[in-house]
Amino acid sequence: MRMRDGWEAEAGMWAAFARMSGCDRSHEDINLPALRALLPAPGRRTLDLGCGEGRLSRYLRSIGHRVAGADAAPTMVRLAAGYRDAPPAVLADAAALPFRDGTFDLVVAYMCLHDMDQMPRAVAEAARVLEPGGRLCAAIPHPVNSAGDVPAPARSKAVTTGGPGASRTAAPRSRRPARPPRSARCTGRSAAVAARC
Ligand SMILES: C[S@@+](CC[C@H](N)C(=O)[O-])C[C@H]1O[C@@H](n2cnc3c(N)ncnc32)[C@H](O)[C@@H]1O
């Protein structure tokens, strides 16, 4: 099954989760504050890549960005575009965006790159639709949330965190990196990075 089809199947559940205040504590307490610290001031045009039901598009608009959302799950796009006074949203695969080169000066990929089947192509597309000097701001789950490289005995001691969007398993504290990479603002559950085109 393609990732986007999985998100289409879960769109209703996701919207209920994302829209209920106090439900997605990682978003409210950790991930969005980390992203906010990286966001440049509103510029010409902002793309909310993998916009889901549109909560980040609405936030970006509320702080002055001229936003368009894009998502590959039709129900997500309907939910995003159908919200009261919502910014526009289009149905699009991040790996083949329906925008001309240099359309945006900011692309925000918030908690979605890890959910895409062709993530490298999605990043290349983000670069293509950015103007020279434009920025990509991305937030993904922090690698400590993956137990993939934890040896079996340690894995059995791992703790599970996160909401319904993904099953996230955090490595035991002793295996966590002592310091986050310098280029990233890292928290317990997300890593937010900004890159310039
Ligand atoms: C965890 S949700 C995050 C949604 C939104 N960014 C938010 O934080 O509320 C991941 C989103 O990525 C979208 N997605 C998955 N694959 C995609 C693709 N190839 N192109 C565009 N969006 C995709 C899903 O449909 C889903 O809405």
77-122 pLDDT, tens digit each = 999 999 999 999 999 999 999 999 999 999 999 999 999 999 999 9
- Give the atom of ligand 1 at the shortest distance from the alpha carbon of 18: 9
CA distance 57 to 109: 11
Residue 151 domain-assigned (yes or no): no
Q: Is residue 91 part of a domain?
A: yes
Is residue 63 assigned to a domain?
Answer: yes
Q: Is residue 168 part of a domain?
A: no
Residue 196's pLDDT is: 76
Q: Within a domain: residue 38?
A: yes
> Does the Cβ of 141 fall within 6 Å of ligand 1?
no
**Containing domain of residue 68, as a range?**
3-143+180-196
From ligand 1's centre to the CA of 3, what distance in Å? Answer: 9
For ligand 1, pick from 3, 7, 123 the residue to mutate: most ligand atoms within 8 Å of CB.
7
Number of domains in the chain: 1
Q: Does residue 121 form part of some domain?
A: yes
Residue 49 within a domain:
yes
Which CATH number covers residue 134?
3.40.50.150
Rounded CA-CA distance 84/51 in Å is 16
Give the list of residues 6+ apart from residue 186 with CB closer than 8 angstroms, or none.
Answer: 34, 142, 180
CB of residue 71 inside a 6 A radius of ligand 1: yes
Both tokens of residue 190?
């997300």
What is the model's pLDDT at position 192?
Answer: 72
Q: Is 138 in the pocket of ligand 1 (CB under 6 A)?
A: no
pLDDT in tens, 140-175: 987 666 655 555 554 433 333 333 333 333 333 333
Which of 77, 99, 115, 125 maximizes ligand 1 atoms within 8 Å of its Cβ, making it the mutation to test the pocket? 115
| Assigned domain for 158 exists | no
Q: How far is CA 9 from CA 14, 76, 116, 124, in A?
A: 10, 10, 15, 27
Residue 60 CB–ligand 1 contact under 6 Å: no
Q: Quick one: pLDDT at residue 153? A: 53
